[in-house]
Structure 1
């Protein structure tokens, strides 16, 4: 992957994180990236997610925790934006 594209795509992900949850720290960006990819895979290949979840139940629990955290951050961000 070309460095310029990688930097530009990273900027897109940072802006997405900022708009989604109100911040774009490295940690938040990584969580949002994992959540977005997981969500896409779950919609396009649910059998793969079921297989992965059976193989790695601890990772599935961690993903559930991340999804919940992102949902909470998004709700907080939307509430603060409405004020």
Structure 2
């Protein structure tokens, strides 16, 4: 399979995931969902790495917390519909 084909197909997967998770799949929301999903996976599979990153970059940790809350809120609103 051609690499660009795979990339497009994977991007389509991310867009659909964003749509199902929060009810929208515009570029900005999809990027936020991508960061949310990747950080969540890292925190679950390698907690010391996530803790190290949180300690090293406290401002980024705060931004990630805000992003997580935003995704959670959007998900709750989407499910309530």
TM-score bin, normalised by smaller chain:
over 0.9
Partner of 1:8: 9
Provide the C-alpha distance between the structure 2 equivalents of 1:63 and 1:75, rounded to a whole number of angstroms. Answer: 18
Q: How does 1:41-60 map to 2 (within 5 A)?
A: 41-60=42-61
Q: Which runs of 5+ in 1 are unaligned?
A: none
Q: Which runs of 5+ in 2 are unaligned?
A: none
Partner of 1:79: 80
The C-alpha deviation readout for 1:5-48, integer Å capped at 9, x for no partner, is: 00000000000000000000100000000000000000000000
Provide the C-alpha distance between the structure 2 equivalents of 1:3 and 1:65, rounded to a whole number of angstroms. Answer: 33
RMSD: 0.9
Partner of 2:31: 30
